[in-house]
Structure 1
Amino acid sequence: MFIVDCGWPADDDADDMYADIGKQQQQRRPNGKLLQNPRDVLGTINWARVDFILISNYEQMRLLPYITEYTEFSGPVYATEPTKVYGKCVLEEALYVAQGALRDDTAGSSTRMLAQRGLLYSSRDIVAAMEKITDVRHNEMISPVPFVQVYTRSSGYCIGAGNWTVEYKGHRTAFISTSTFVSCLHPQEWDISILREAQALVFCDAVDPAPSSVGSSEIGDEGAWQSAHVSQLLNQLCSTAISTLKQRGRVLLVGEPYGVTQDIVQLVSENIVALNLPQPQFVFVSPIAEHTLQYGNIMGEWLCESKHALLYLPEYPFSDKELRKKGHLHFVSSLADLATKNLPQGNWFVVVPPSDTETLNHFVRQWQQDAQRCSSADMASGTGMAKFSVLIHDDDTARAQRLVNRLSVGPEITYVPVARRFTFHSIEQCLAAAERAHHVLVPSHVYARLETKAGRYEFRMFEFSHLQATTVDLDTDRHLPLDIQSEMTRRVREGGKQHALVEGKLSLSAGRIRLECLDEDAAPGEPAAEAAKSKTEIGSRYNLATTGSANTPSLTQRDLARWTPEKLADELNGVGLKASVVSAAAGSRAVRVVVPGGSATIHLDNEWLVDCSSSSAHWTVMTSLRQVLKAA
């Protein structure tokens, strides 16, 4: 059992999500999904059974310090060297922002609540977690546990990013994390060999673009901005910035101090020199910007071929060293730190992370006031600052729209979504190159668009949602667990034959493979197909008083009155589940169980009923419940 990636979405829109702090548990995200606490989600996993963790890129480490320091996980963690060093920077920045929100006297209660939720670890926990990471290189074969081999191939997304392949007894499963086909950016290019080697593909991440109404450079049709080459989009952002700087204006780039931001700063700086224009003052407002830019220069072997070749001249792949040498590059950790610095006047090119809304609002508000006070005489004399531009390049259009709504800048915003992550179009191209694949798992929003085309491929395609268990029909060439082999042996002996046919569903849930036979729990006179349908139906209500089997007597044969919710919850907790008594109306007795992939409510009134939120929750809860009742 292993974990691929430990990411968690950054909650950068606190005011939208927490309209009423008293109803925090009932709040939902703007996209309609329930807002969950990461501690609650991590609490549903039996970390003592997790053998190892694989990290794909530095954006997928948000929960790692909590896992390594506050759970029972004790296995190895694997990541590339850039993923480790950049991931530490990302964790430190998140911690800095959360602690700053708690210290800020002017912060609202919703922002403080969100910051408190984000404090999963301390700076000491970050250092301890980094020490437990084993560095690996692309194509390096490692064996975290016996009979299992693991290696990573470049995903093209960012410096050091990779896609993991796990091989067990000759069967390879590839996990395609955040990836891109783009070849004009600075990270090492996408390695397509991962698609040709694996029998099973799992696409862990894909953006779901929607038509956008953001800014003056609207690209509303998804196909249009997907077909546009990323280099053209970067040139468009660069042209807007240079046009503003030509008119003695100022530019605000909303982006993290790594990734595509490095390419945009490089393009602007080079074009300013080529056009013989005055070099602006590049100001990064971030506590980690200085380190991340330096890492880009010293990790040249992880860069694309064109920048990697510069190392042999030798030259620095990025322009930040030259800018720093000439005094045009400045770093400030926060808005408060900026007020204490004496920076040169003139044209500014400011880079601010999207999570730092306080700094973004400050610059927009200040520059709008400067533009209103600027007279024609000031502009003629070259001392006025009337023009400014805000550049946004996030390829998540919904997130970009929420940011624009908070800034309220108007036509000064130029939004060009630089499409770096996979969309369903990119995944469709990957499927055409999957030569050996038998099974493919894709996110639900991707499956909805590819469902009509799934019949063109020879493999089976399934959909999944994160934090939910997925049921997959496996081929017979898979190695079956001992409990399933025992079932097949029993069938052989009963029939007195050399072989036996076992019909049913193989389910992957909570790290286990289970076999649900069609006729195992069928009530007398109930067709086997109907029994199987009731077992796999999502959100079904299961009556335990009428569904006994040969191995488990029905509950009508037991003394139900002696069972209390408190006693049942203790027994279920004793077998490894997370059970609690439901606080309900007088006379109602119920126990709630939370398991990986869903939850269930056991009603103890008269006849016992079990309400399950998913089929995987049903299998896990029913198995444990029968175990408890059999031992009683």
Structure 2
Amino acid sequence: MFVVDCGWPADDDADDMHPDMGKQQPRTNYKLAQNPRDVLGTINWARVDFILISNYEQMRLLPYITEYTEFSGPVYTTEPTKVYGKCVLEESIQVAQGALYEDAAGSSSKMSSQRGLLYSPRDIVAAMEKITDVRHNEMISPVPFVQVYTRSSGYCIGAGNWTVEYKGHRTAFISTSTFVSCLHPQEWDSTVLREAQALVFCDAVDPAPSSTGSGEMGDEGSWQSAHVSQLLNQLCSTAISTLKQRGRVLLVGEPYGVTQDIVQLVSENIVALNLPQPQFVFVSPIAEHTLQYGNIMGEWLCESKHALLYLPEYPFSDKELRKKGHLHFVSSLADLATKSIPQGNWFVVVPPSDTETLNHFVRQWRQDAQRCSSADMASGAGLAKFSILIHDDDTARAQRLVNRLSVGTELTYVPVARRFTFHSIEQCLAAAERAHHVLVPSHVYARLEAKAGRYEFRMFEFSHLQATTVDLDTDRHLPLDIQSEMTRRVCEGGKQHALVEGKLSLSAGRIRLECRDEDAAPSEPTAETAKPKTEVGSQHKLGSADSANAPALTQRDLARWTPEKLADELNGVGLNASVIPASPGSRAVQVLVPGGSATIHLDNEWLVDCSSSNVNWTVLTSLRKVLKAA
């Protein structure tokens, strides 16, 4: 058992769930109203063998998992993901602490602060120490008989898609990915699609076409059909046009990822047009570190920037800007007041979660524009012009930013489509040569459902935080005991193949073959054959009399149990069990576990009815332990 990615919606995503925002329903694919502690409590972390992290956006819950749950296995990710992930976690702590300060002053951002303070800075350091660095295409074995490796996803520096291989069967987990080849991260590796028998698409953007009036959000098709390089050039042109008029630009984005490409494009075009270089100001406590990491991790960059490693120059322009005094870093809005930054053309980068800083610049620049006289505008000495640029490809999240800033025609929204959409997933499915099963988010499945019949594989849908069961009816790999039985039959018959007859059963998550061998002499029941038998399905019968391998001893043992005794024994092994009030001719025990419940009917044949596969695993394992000890 393993976990892929430990992400959670960012703090700015909590605004839709705030009681002051009314009953607006989020449109993106996984806006969650649950508390992360409650969600994590539904998992038996003691049974999780290892964790795989795809990119630095998928680490928000990792410190809580490693420090406050029973998880004790290894965590695997690439070196850039670990480095950038630590920066993101540290920033979330500072944002949450700021939210707590606002709460004390009478503001209401409890949801954000509650999420951010799941752990402390010391927990972040401890979690980072438990991470094992891996490289793309490096084969690792977290547990016996399991091999794991990652391929580049193209999304950000160090991002990858994990493939888990067990006995030759490969399952690929396609996390946040992109086909774009004009950005600075290492390009998408399509090998992940051609190798796997099962594909799980963990993340895809859910476009929510809408209009903001003067903001011009545009519809889904207009920006999906355009190449990302065209969208970046459009953002760059808007910024340069504003800077030409002695204006100022506010870029809403994190100080890493595609923001680095936009800043470099603006800087290079300013030099090419022989215009005065603006002052680039990053308002973030982690911006200085993240820009430096991009320069020193050249081997994780795209081919064009990777080639610069062999030349005496850096892949990005921030070193040159710093040398000329045009690059400034401030940790917060309060820190900005203590910095001496030349006036004039400013290009400011602010994370979308820092609403206080965003509101400050919009309010201040609007006042400057209103105070600017016509004479100042004619002479070019005024500061009347300013632009706000948003590049988030999650249109619902960008819509909230537009509504929050409310700047009318001064805002330019150009979604840089970096994450997979259902169009991208459709291209992936065409290249899935060996796939037998595909799992996609529900909003993607709704758009592909009509075309699912033309594929050779079976397609399933899932929703976040909802248990999904996939019936792997093809390419089933037999356990070792079944393979041993087949080998024995082959050797006895002196043939290259043999027909094995029997019944497949599922017991506590293990598949077992129960054969009926009439020629074999009856033997005494062993510890293995005396185990309770279960049939495949949501209802499990223990001690069935029609099984050749169910000895009379098991039936007598089951008949001696009472509901009260069974409930006491189950409580003794850590379950919450209680006796259901008896009905005529029926005896039953109810078991409550995180994530569901189960009912055990103590009739002639015990019947275990579980609400989910996770509950099935937990209850049957504990029940087996109780029966063994009896």
The reply to whether TM is greater than 0.5 is yes
Give the Å deviation of 1:73: 1.7
Letter in 2 for 1:134: T
In the alignment, which residue of structure 2 is the partner of 1:93? 91
Secondary structure, counterpart of 2:316 in structure 1 = coil
> Structure 2: any 5+ residue segments left out of the alignment?
487-497, 515-534, 546-553, 581-588, 602-606
Give the Å deviation of 1:351: 0.3
In the alignment, which residue of structure 2 is the partner of 1:587? none
Quick one: which of 297, 302, 312 aligns to 1:304?
302
Do the aligned partners of 1:255 and 1:353 also contact (CA within 8 Å) in 2?
A: yes
Give the Å deviation of 1:206: 0.9
Do the aligned partners of 2:152 and 2:158 also contact (CA within 8 Å) in 1?
A: yes
- Quick one: distance in 2 between partners of 1:552 and 1:415? 70
Residues 208-236 of structure 1, C-alpha deviation per residue, up to 9 Å, x if partnerless?
11213246463533233211100000011
Do the aligned partners of 2:280 and 2:348 also contact (CA within 8 Å) in 1?
A: yes
In the alignment, which residue of structure 2 is the partner of 1:149? 147
Structure 1 residues 304, 171: CA separation in 2 closer, same or farther (over 3 Å shift)? same
Do the aligned partners of 1:29 and 1:35 also contact (CA within 8 Å) in 2?
A: no
In the alignment, which residue of structure 2 is the partner of 1:526? none
Residues 297-325 of structure 1, C-alpha deviation per residue, up to 9 Å, x if partnerless?
11111111111111112211111011111
Give the Å deviation of 1:615: 4.3
Give the Å deviation of 1:11: 2.9
Alignment pair present for 1:200 and 2:198: yes
In the alignment, which residue of structure 1 is the partner of 2:527? none
Give the Å deviation of 1:436: 1.2
Give the Å deviation of 1:616: 3.3
Do the aligned partners of 1:44 and 1:578 also contact (CA within 8 Å) in 2?
A: no
Give the Å deviation of 1:367: 1.0
In the alignment, which residue of structure 2 is the partner of 1:6? 6
Structure 1 residues 156, 236: CA separation in 2 closer, same or farther (over 3 Å shift)? same
Alignment pair present for 1:137 and 2:138: no
Secondary structure, counterpart of 2:471 in structure 1 = coil
In the alignment, which residue of structure 2 is the partner of 1:593? 592
Residues 444-475 of structure 1, C-alpha deviation per residue, up to 9 Å, x if partnerless?
11111111111212112111222222222224
Residues 85-141 of structure 1, C-alpha deviation per residue, up to 9 Å, x if partnerless?
111101110011111222336654531353033211111111111111111111111
Letter in 1 for 2:54: S
Secondary structure, counterpart of 1:59 in structure 2 = helix
Alignment pair present for 1:365 and 2:363: yes
- Quick one: distance in 2 between partners of 1:190 and 1:378? 50
Q: Which moved more, 1:140-149 or 1:26-35?
A: 26-35
In the alignment, which residue of structure 1 is the partner of 2:500? 499
Letter in 1 for 2:11: D
- Name the count of aligned residue pairs: 578
In the alignment, which residue of structure 2 is the partner of 1:59? 57
- Quick one: distance in 2 between partners of 1:9 and 1:435? 33
Secondary structure, counterpart of 1:91 in structure 2 = helix
Secondary structure, counterpart of 2:7 in structure 1 = coil
What pairs up with 1:485-524 in 2 under 5 angstroms? Answer: 499-500=500-501, 512=509
Alignment pair present for 1:222 and 2:223: no
- Quick one: distance in 2 between partners of 1:487 and 1:599? 36
- Quick one: distance in 1 between partners of 2:578 and 2:281? 52
In the alignment, which residue of structure 2 is the partner of 1:111? 109
Secondary structure, counterpart of 1:224 in structure 2 = helix
- Quick one: distance in 1 between partners of 2:117 and 2:27? 22
Quick one: which of 71, 93, 109 aligns to 1:73?
71
In the alignment, which residue of structure 2 is the partner of 1:452? 450
Across the aligned residues of Structure 1 and Structure 2, the Cα RMSD in angstroms comes to 3.9
What pairs up with 1:553-592 in 2 under 5 angstroms? Answer: 574-575=572-573, 577=575
- Quick one: distance in 1 between partners of 2:453 and 2:19? 45
- Quick one: distance in 2 between partners of 1:305 and 1:617? 44
Do the aligned partners of 1:8 and 1:60 also contact (CA within 8 Å) in 2?
A: yes
Do the aligned partners of 2:45 and 2:69 also contact (CA within 8 Å) in 1?
A: yes
Quick one: which of 232, 254, 257 aligns to 1:234?
232
Secondary structure, counterpart of 1:138 in structure 2 = coil
In the alignment, which residue of structure 2 is the partner of 1:320? 318
Give the Å deviation of 1:164: 1.0
Q: Which moved more, 1:161-170 or 1:259-268?
A: 161-170
In the alignment, which residue of structure 2 is the partner of 1:528? none
Give the Å deviation of 1:516: 14
Quick one: which of 264, 275, 278 aligns to 1:277?
275
Q: Which moved more, 1:150-159 or 1:380-389?
A: 380-389
- Quick one: distance in 1 between partners of 2:405 and 2:186? 34
Alignment pair present for 1:260 and 2:258: yes
Do the aligned partners of 1:15 and 1:110 also contact (CA within 8 Å) in 2?
A: no
Structure 1 residues 284, 33: CA separation in 2 closer, same or farther (over 3 Å shift)? closer
Secondary structure, counterpart of 1:307 in structure 2 = helix
Letter in 1 for 2:287: A
Letter in 2 for 1:114: S
Do the aligned partners of 2:182 and 2:229 also contact (CA within 8 Å) in 1?
A: yes
Structure 1 residues 106, 600: CA separation in 2 closer, same or farther (over 3 Å shift)? same
Residues 551-597 of structure 1, C-alpha deviation per residue, up to 9 Å, x if partnerless?
899x999977x69xxx95x8656545578999xxxxxxx978354xx
In the alignment, which residue of structure 1 is the partner of 2:495? none
Give the Å deviation of 1:502: 5.1
- Quick one: distance in 2 between partners of 1:181 and 1:362? 37
Secondary structure, counterpart of 1:104 in structure 2 = helix
- Quick one: distance in 2 between partners of 1:346 and 1:90? 31
- Quick one: distance in 2 between partners of 1:84 and 1:29? 30
- Quick one: distance in 1 between partners of 2:596 and 2:24? 19
Give the Å deviation of 1:35: 0.8
Give the Å deviation of 1:479: 2.8
Structure 1 residues 264, 552: CA separation in 2 closer, same or farther (over 3 Å shift)? farther
Give the Å deviation of 1:75: 1.6
Letter in 1 for 2:613: S
- Quick one: distance in 2 between partners of 1:559 and 1:158? 59
Do the aligned partners of 1:48 and 1:73 also contact (CA within 8 Å) in 2?
A: yes
Larger Rg computed on CA atoms: 2
Alignment pair present for 1:420 and 2:415: no
Structure 1 residues 205, 571: CA separation in 2 closer, same or farther (over 3 Å shift)? farther
Secondary structure, counterpart of 1:420 in structure 2 = coil
- Quick one: distance in 2 between partners of 1:111 and 1:629? 47
Do the aligned partners of 1:251 and 1:349 also contact (CA within 8 Å) in 2?
A: yes
Letter in 2 for 1:337: D
The percentage of aligned residue pairs carrying the same residue is 82
Secondary structure, counterpart of 1:379 in structure 2 = helix
- Quick one: distance in 2 between partners of 1:423 and 1:448? 13
In the alignment, which residue of structure 2 is the partner of 1:350? 348
What pairs up with 1:159-178 in 2 under 5 angstroms? Answer: 159-178=157-176
Structure 1 residues 571, 336: CA separation in 2 closer, same or farther (over 3 Å shift)? farther
- Quick one: distance in 2 between partners of 1:501 and 1:476? 19
Secondary structure, counterpart of 1:90 in structure 2 = helix
In the alignment, which residue of structure 1 is the partner of 2:550? none
Give the Å deviation of 1:80: 0.9
Quick one: which of 30, 37, 40 aligns to 2:38?
40
In the alignment, which residue of structure 1 is the partner of 2:524? none
Secondary structure, counterpart of 1:462 in structure 2 = strand
- Quick one: distance in 1 between partners of 2:198 and 2:12? 35
Residues 506-554 of structure 1, C-alpha deviation per residue, up to 9 Å, x if partnerless?
89xx9x467999xxxxxxxxxxxxxx99x76xxxxx9x9x99976899x
- Quick one: distance in 2 between partners of 1:115 and 1:552? 56
- Quick one: distance in 1 between partners of 2:578 and 2:393? 42
Q: Which moved more, 1:421-430 or 1:217-226?
A: 217-226
Secondary structure, counterpart of 1:340 in structure 2 = coil
Give the Å deviation of 1:283: 0.4
- Quick one: distance in 2 between partners of 1:410 and 1:239? 19
In the alignment, which residue of structure 2 is the partner of 1:523? none
Do the aligned partners of 1:206 and 1:422 also contact (CA within 8 Å) in 2?
A: yes
Secondary structure, counterpart of 2:447 in structure 1 = helix
Do the aligned partners of 1:575 and 1:624 also contact (CA within 8 Å) in 2?
A: no
In the alignment, which residue of structure 2 is the partner of 1:616? 613
